[in-house]
Amino acid sequence: DTEVTQTPKHLVMGMTNKKSLKCEQHMGHRAMYWYKQKAKKPPELMFVYSYEKLSINESVPSRFSPECPNSSLLNLHLHALQPEDSALYLCASSQDLEGWDTDTQYFGPGTRLTVL
Amino acid sequence: DAKTTQPPSMDCAEGRAANLPCNHSTISGNEYVYWYRQIHSQGPQYIIHGLKNNETNEMASLIITEDRKSSTLILPHATLRDTAVYYCIAPSYGGATNKLIFGTGTLLAVQP
């Protein structure tokens, strides 16, 4: 089973709202990722968690706040977003094979976010 | 990540083999070649990866040239459901986690 689930599938929020995106995997993976994908563009990495610790932050604005409560869950807290933050937000996970040369990432279906 | 170059679009007739090329002339010795695809509005789907040898799984075959500067993804019998953007990626592994840097990919349109 290589399933990564994401909720909600769609989210519409105002610029003053606070919302959260959720991601879950039960593959025993120890690395989890958030990507952002604008329309007609490729996915871009935002954050990486390795063993529940933030290991990469690709200079993402502080209105996006990631959280990894345990090895199976990944959240992305949203606050005071701008309309240009409207995008497909993708979660991925991988085994995080330290010392190995390959570590396949598996993606969820994404959350389509619209900021009004 | 090594830079990869792919044609922006390709057409393929349904039932025929789809051959998607990728150039990665700056790839280093320990960098794998990964292929993902993304069907419209869905998350990227892992297809296959390889280092030196040709690889085959239930979805596709991956042919890597001997000098590793290019590769070809082969979908042996394309169907309409294979219409998607196909990404060729050569991630670098500098520690415990890898970063996938997606290029613009190839939009494969399978025609009936």
Chain A interface includes B50 (CB < 8 A): no
Q: Is B93 in contact with A100 (Cβ distance < 8 A)? A: yes
- pLDDT digits over A4-45, tens only? 999 999 999 999 999 999 999 999 999 999 999 999 999 999
Query: In percent, how much of chain A has pLDDT > 70?
Result: 94
Contact B6, B22 (CB under 8 A): yes
Confidence tier at B28 by pLDDT (50, 70, 90)? confident
CA–CA separation, B47 vs B86, rounded Å?
A: 9
Q: Is the pLDDT of residue A2 over 90?
A: no
**Percentages (nearest 5) of helix, strand, coil residues in chain B:** 5, 45, 50
Mutation choice for A interface testing from B4, B97, B99 by most A CBs within 10 A: B97
From the CA atom positions of chain A, what is the Rg in Å?
A: 14
Is the omega angle on the peptide bond into residue A8 within 30 degrees of 0, that is, cis?
A: yes
pLDDT higher at A74 or B3: A74
Return the pLDDT at A101. 60
